[in-house]
Amino acid sequence: MLSRKIEDAVNAAVRAKTPDPVLFISNHMRKAVPSVITKVKARQILDSRGIPTVEVDLYTNKGMFRASAPSGASSGMYEALELRDGDKGMYLGNSVQRAVKNVNEKISEALIGMDPILQSQIDQAMIDLDKTEKKGELGANAILAVSIAACKAGAAEKEVPLYKHIADLSGRTSMILPVPAFCLISGGKHAGNTLAIQDINILPVGARRFEEALQMGSETYHHLKAVITEKYGAHGCNVGEDGGFAPNISGFREGLDLVKEAISRTGYSEKIKIGIDVSATDFCIGTKYDLDYKSPNKSGQNFKSGEDMIELYKELCADYPVVSIEDPFDKEDWERVKYFSGLGVCQVVGDDLLMSNPKRIEKAIQESACNALLLKVNQIGTVTEAIEVVKLAKDGHWGVVVSHRCGETEDSFIADLSVGLSTGQIKAGAPCRGERLAKYNQLLRIEEELGDQAAYAGDDWRMS
Ligand code: 2PG
Ligand code: MG
């Protein structure tokens, strides 16, 4: 068998009249021999907040494939567990050396020899090895980084782009460029201003291509910088963790007015819609909401009830081009979110409500609690399970937003994931800062590569 392959390679080299037959034969042989995972090596790196995370280099006969795990501010009891060392003397307890060790020893030993194309078997091997429900033994940060690296290796083995491999894994043939939700204003836990809500995003649904959407996002961002400077001075342009501006405002309307003004200065008015991530769990006290929770002098004095919040959202959707609201209520306030979704005034996205957890998603679909999934891959922990929850959401006729975390890395995997799964929406932060642009710039490359085949979700951003 091997001698036959060598003979084929030599014959091919002769036919090609190559000036470097040795290199030609070695490349030919590398392609002819099916790859297996030969080595998995992890290290500790820092994410965009300067907090440790796991990076993995996974080797096959085709080369080395690198991936890393993101990390966020919100974490809950239903999501996969990030393994951190907890030694206060090391990165204030945040180092991930145990997760790194788990990759270098246990995971590496289990995966060496496996075919990188077989994503679900690779992911299952890690799940079996971990044995806990939340991946707390090996660490979801360890498992996810390996899972993504294996996915990249699988694409290389098939000699197809990553998004195409992901589409194959999910049984899809269509590949759609998503509408980006660019973070323009940051608040909540992501910024030091007094704004309670976490971010105000813009969605260029009226663009014809992703490239045009990125241009619209960037131009609006820079107009907003001018609008904020005029009103609050240059210090109002400091940015939050996702790259959105963080002027010292406290009201929904103040932020929305700034964004509306910036959009009108671009001239794209009808083409750009607005999304809000309220992240209401962060300022829910009992059953009431404290929109002033970040203002020491006002906090605790003016609570809003769930009903007040519903009224507020209805008004905002009427007064501004708001088309999507994420986590409008506390993550356990199923009744209110269900009632609000039923009004049909906008897309209602479940982030903290669902935590990308299949059981929570199933429950939310059955109860029509919301109508879109925010998918954070590190909350679920493997590529295979991410594909499964997207299928679940789509079968339930929901929208799907592939999402970054506030702690990001240069890894652009979620860009390919959003195209491969045709989610229609991606939220990857401001059109600024390297770790955010890694995703948007990758979408530019994918659009270029798809050429005539490239389709931008545009008005079909909800895709269901
Ligand atoms: C969110 C994300 C991204 P975090 O709430 O949608 O903005 O935040 O990564 O802090 O959970
Ligand atoms: Mg959120």
Q: What is the mean pLDDT of the chain?
A: 95
* Dist. CA 70 → ligand 2 center (Å): 14
Per-residue pLDDT band for 351 (boundaries 50, 70, 90) equals: very high
State residue 19's pLDDT score: 86
Cβ burial, residue 109 (10 Å; 0-12/13-18/19+): exposed
- Express as a percent the part of the chain with pLDDT over 70: 99
> Which has more confidence, 426 or 3?
426
Q: Give yes or no for residue 403 CB within 6 A of ligand 1.
A: yes
Q: Is 296's pLDDT higher than 90?
A: no
Q: Is 34's pLDDT higher than 90?
A: no
For the segment 148-168, the average pLDDT, to the nearest whole number, is 98
State residue 244's pLDDT score: 98
For the segment 379-399, the average pLDDT, to the nearest whole number, is 98
Q: Give yes or no for residue 72 CB within 6 A of ligand 1.
A: yes
- Express as a percent the part of the chain with pLDDT over 90: 88
Q: Is 27's pLDDT higher than 80?
A: no
**Alpha-carbon separation of residue 315 from 307, 381, 416 (angstroms):** 13, 38, 36
Q: Give yes or no for residue 378 CB within 6 A of ligand 1.
A: no
State residue 33's pLDDT score: 73
Q: Is 261's pLDDT higher than 90?
A: yes
Per-residue pLDDT band for 301 (boundaries 50, 70, 90) equals: confident
Per-residue pLDDT band for 29 (boundaries 50, 70, 90) equals: confident
pLDDT one-digit tens code per residue, 303-313: 999 999 999 99
| Distance, CA of 149 to CA of 90 (rounded, Å) | 27
Give the ligand 1 atom nearest the CA of 189.
10
Q: Give yes or no for residue 279 CB within 6 A of ligand 1.
A: yes
Give the ligand 1 atom nearest the CA of 199.
7
* Dist. CA 277 → ligand 2 center (Å): 6
For the segment 109-126, the average pLDDT, to the nearest whole number, is 98
Residue nearest to atom 2 of ligand 1 (CA): 405
Per-residue pLDDT band for 30 (boundaries 50, 70, 90) equals: low
For the segment 220-249, the average pLDDT, to the nearest whole number, is 97
* Dist. CA 72 → ligand 1 center (Å): 6
Give the ligand 1 atom nearest the CA of 70.
9
Per-residue pLDDT band for 2 (boundaries 50, 70, 90) equals: low
Q: Is 106's pLDDT higher than 80?
A: yes
Per-residue pLDDT band for 8 (boundaries 50, 70, 90) equals: confident
Give the ligand 1 atom nearest the CA of 74.
11
For the segment 86-93, the average pLDDT, to the nearest whole number, is 97
Q: Give yes or no for residue 73 CB within 6 A of ligand 1.
A: yes
* Dist. CA 195 → ligand 2 center (Å): 15
Q: Give yes or no for residue 327 CB within 6 A of ligand 1.
A: no
* Dist. CA 451 → ligand 2 center (Å): 33
The whole-model pTM stands at 0.94
Q: Is 1's pLDDT higher than 70?
A: no
Which of 403, 408, 409, 435 has most ligand 1 atoms within 8 Å of CB, for mutation? Answer: 403
Q: Give yes or no for residue 241 CB within 6 A of ligand 1.
A: no
Catalytic residues: 242, 376
